Amino acid sequence: GRTITDGEGIEVAVADDGTLTLRSGERRLHGLGAVEDRGDRGDSYDFDPVDDDPGATLRSVAIERRRHPSGIQRLVVTRVLDVPACLLPARDRRSPETVPVTVRMVVRLAPGVGRVDLHVETDNAAKDHRLRLLFPTAAPTERFHAATTFNVAMRTTAPPDTHGWWHDPPETFPHQGWVSANGLTVGAPGLPEAEVTADGTIAITVLRAVGWLSHLELRRRPIPAGPTLVAPEAQCPDGIAAQLTLRLGEPLDAGHDPGLLVATAQADELGLRGTPAGPAPLLAEGTSLLTIEPPAVVLSALKPAEDDDGFVVRVLNPTDRATRATITLGLPVTDAESVRLDETPDGRALDRSGSRLTVAVGAHELRSVRVRPT
């Protein structure tokens, strides 16, 4: 009663401590989704750890398995932690009193999707702490990939040379939706802080509960980062809810172009959404409204034109190689032209054959096309 499968090679099982074992093909990872809780002397800018931190203790774990006739399977894992209630007045230790903090994780597998969906909810009666989910990848790593705006950054776990620095760099970094190490890609839209340790563990910050916009007495920062203002709502008293995804594949080596990873991770983030469109089908069965080839080219925007004359399709080539993108629409097209980001014509070549449009897209380039449907 603790295992679910999509019937196509992905399996998830829950251990007694509430962590997950993920099997995909021949690969298997253990201990995914472990909860780490640390005291935080910091502010809205910087995490500042507490000495001799007792951490949180696991009070209870409840596991429920659900199956739907559609083939979708779920595991509901509810963990209750005893977390130190706050910092002591001197801000150098966590209080001996604890409060319960619940972390509820719904694990979902759907046939044909190829990923694990996680819906995570926490309440938060505690103050002055950071709560993270840990995803061990079972091998050390020196380099890993993370999403940035319109690109992918290759990062390193090696500490930088900080000789002459006033402010040592944090171990965490910002990302724009996902982090990938040793073949495990963790999608975490809306949770932009992460860390990857040298042993290959991906750590995603779920919440940081702090009471100050900026504080004077941080050990990891020599000067204030902003106004010293009390910010009680920054303690996240209502907790947080977030959607994460897990994909397990082959690791990217240093020469591998991560374009397909970008497209897949973005599709995972967007998911599927239903929109009421009336009783009559707008398209014939089996016809896509929009397809883009090759798969590494990413849809960046699909929007009405600013002057209400048609709509604009914008694509991104996140790879290191120029390519030709083919955009196929599921409706008749009267006219199409290449445009700039301000949606004025740029005079660049565009090939059109009926509802199929082809444009050249350079490495790391955006291309926009205005389309006027029939």
Beta-bridge partners for 14: 20
Span 48-73, pLDDT tens digits: 999 999 999 999 999 999 999 989 99
Q: Is 170 exposed, middle or buried (0-12, 13-18, 19+ CB in 10 A)?
A: middle
More confident residue, 353 or 286: 353
Cis amide prior to 373 (ω within 30 degrees): no
More confident residue, 285 or 128: 128
Span 152-201, pLDDT tens digits: 888 999 999 999 998 889 999 999 999 999 999 999 999 999 999 999 99
For strand 290-293 and strand 323-329, is the pairing parallel, antiparallel, or unpaired? antiparallel
Span 3-34, pLDDT tens digits: 999 989 999 999 999 999 999 988 999 999 99
CB atoms within 10 A of CB 355: 17
How far apart CA 222 and CA 40 sit, in angstroms, is: 17
Span 109-159, pLDDT tens digits: 999 889 999 999 999 999 999 999 999 999 999 999 999 888 888 899 999
Q: Where are the alpha helices (DSSP H) in the chain?
A: 259-270
**pTM of the predicted structure, to 2 decimals:** 0.88
How far apart CA 217 and CA 91 sit, in angstroms, is: 9
